[in-house]
Amino acid sequence: MSRRWFITGGTPGGFGVAFAEAALETGDRVVLTSRRPQELATWAEEFGDRVLVVPLELTDAAQVPRAVRAAEEQFGGIDVLVNNAGRGWYGSIEGMDESALRAMFELNFFAVLSLTRAVLPGMRTRGSGWIVNVSSVAGLVSAPGFGYYSATKFAIEAVTDALRDEVAPQGISVLTVEPGAFRTNAYAGFANEPVAEAIPDYHDMLEQVRAAFVEMDGVQPGDPRRGARAVIAAMAQDPPPRRLVLGNSGYDAVVDALERTLADIRAGEGLSRTADFPR
């Protein structure tokens, strides 16, 4: 039987559309959400009644249950939820605008929780389902200028690990996906976003961050379509992996960072073991 997908973050050329097309290639049906659904009208026509584009502003809590109901009414249920939507703002830990910081957590973290909690009751009733949470290499490796973006993704990593064990007895599988640099439109806005930082001491660092993303825009090594197909292949493995890092440079960065973290923890083992009451 074909599966019914619910995918957030549908923008032309983005990972959401790549996930949708990969699912459609396997014969599945797809609900794809977007803040600007009109941009997907021509794309959706090709697939007829196998695709439903739903308008959704994820940070509006009232819209989330309506979008889930629309999907369930169209296809009878949701078998795979892909929490793909998100955005990265840059800024220093000290000086980043607090409203931008909170907006990023609302979209990248709290909206993911709202949608997951809205979809899980149907999956539990059926005793099956998949939750695919799109994190980032930044969810495992933090970097100057992107500390708060990383924090939103580190938070996704944490709740996804807990969720995986909580819902496994209900027949529901959970996968964390950590893409590196992929050729989507995610970097396109940096060219038109000058550094907005209240503390001048961080301007040079942030300008270097911005310039690096501008330079990489359009030449990122990752192919969203190949990445989406890799996720579907991982879901088919027995047993499936708990997480999947996407892209060569991302894989290398994550492995290197985790090895350095493990070495650092082991270097402090002597002091770590002095902190208990004496036996």
- CB-based contact 183:84 (threshold 8 Å): no
User: Choosing from 92, 114, 135, 150, which is the catalytic residue?
Assistant: 135
User: Choosing from 90, 149, 187, 202, which is the catalytic residue?
Assistant: 149
What tokens were used for 164?
Answer: 């995986």
First to last CA, the chain: 59
Spatial strand order in the sheet of 29-34: 51-55, 29-34, 4-7, 80-83, 129-134, 172-179, 243-246
Query: Is 135 noted as a catalytic residue in this protein?
Result: yes
Query: Is 272 noted as a catalytic residue in this protein?
Result: no
User: Choosing from 114, 136, 153, 187, which is the catalytic residue?
Assistant: 153
Is the preceding peptide bond at 65 cis, omega within 30 degrees of 0? no
**Phi, then psi, of 258 in degrees rounded to 5:** -70, -35
What tokens were used for 51?
Answer: 């695709």
What tokens were used for 44?
Answer: 């959706």
- CB-based contact 122:53 (threshold 8 Å): no
**Phi, then psi, of 81 in degrees rounded to 5:** -105, 125
Q: Mapping DSSP to helix (H, G, I), strand (E, B) and coil, where does residue 146 land?
A: coil
Residues identified as active-site: 135, 149, 153
